[in-house]
Amino acid sequence: MTIRFDDQVAIVTGAGNGLGKSHALELARRGAKVVVNDLGAARDGSGSSSDAAMAVLEEIAAFGGEAIAHGANVAKFDEVEDMVKLAMDTWGRVDILINNAGILRDKSFSKMSLEDFKLVLDVHLMGAVNCSKAVWEIMRAQKYGRIVMTTSSSGLYGNFGQSNYGAAKMAVVGFMNTLVQEGAKYDVRVNTLAPTAGTRMTEDLITPDLLELLTPESVTAGALLLCHKDSPNRMILCAGGGGYAAVNIHETDGIYLPPDQQNPETVLANWEKITDTSNQRALSAGAQQTEKFVQKAIAYREGK
């Protein structure tokens, strides 16, 4: 099956460079009409310029694609609303949103200012929230939508010097988990990409010889899977350098302790059983955890 996006409209944030540029170009090559969003800021979020976005437009036009540019700062909802309005005025719908825009302000937590912590959250988390909010009712009304969040191994597993970035990147996974439930009956599917690529965001972290392997295009292959019409839902897909893997969050079956044993000493004494992974499973809603614990308590009470 060839994956195509003919007659679909896609918004890609942070599309002037790196992964966003790669996503935008490939969507356009496969028939999508693309909003190339880029503030044109430096890696730390400072400054702005339309040059990068306009260069992407020229590349798309060169192979016969259709695209427009918008310089919205994703951390500012009024600017995001204006970007979505431009898409609607131009093409009348929005089918795909790839929340890719991001910045870095790396420092150890002890040396990091709260301003730098909040700024990274504003761009990565609130940027994804703002853009998703701006297209949400459009997608619900047309009973179709595909939203891709961008997480990171720094959020999923941690990375020294990136407490702000890691917090933001894990937060978008929680955001996805609820949007999946609220969008299901409208065929609005939400997935998350965990990329590893050689871009200006990672150039200080990866040696030059490895950067050549970690192409943005290898990540885009995963991104496009997550936003086509037959995409999965609630998927965390890792992609980088030709490698692809899935991340799942599991919960152990756990134990039940009767009221007279519900103390930290007994919890500690049962730690091996609590952490036993033999019957672990992925839960699809928070209420399933409550249901599991209540069932254990009822089973104990009825068995007494």
pLDDT score at 293: 95
**Cα–Cα distance measured from residue 152 to residue 84, given in angstroms and rounded to the nearest whole number:** 26
Mean pLDDT in the chain?
93
What's the pLDDT at 133?
98
Could you report the per-residue pLDDT of 112-124, keeping only the tens digit for each? 999 999 999 999 9
Mapped to the 3 state alphabet, what secondary structure does 234-288 carry?
A: CCEEEEECCEEEEECCCECCCCCCCHHHCCHHHHHHCHHHHCCCCCCECCCCHHH
pLDDT of 200 above 90:
no
> In this predicted structure, what is the pLDDT of residue 203?
61
Give CATH for domain 9-247.
Answer: 3.40.50.720
Extents of the domains making up the chain: 9-247, 259-303
Classify residue 226 as exposed, middle or buried by CB count within 10 Å of its CB (0-12, 13-18, 19+): buried
Give the active site residues: 165
Are 19 and 199 contacting, i.e. CB atoms less than 8 angstroms apart? yes
Tokens for 202?
């990672």
Across 194-207, average pLDDT: 69
201 pLDDT exceeds 60? no
Range of weakest confidence among 29-43, 74-88, 240-254, 258-272: 29-43
> Which pTM was predicted?
0.93
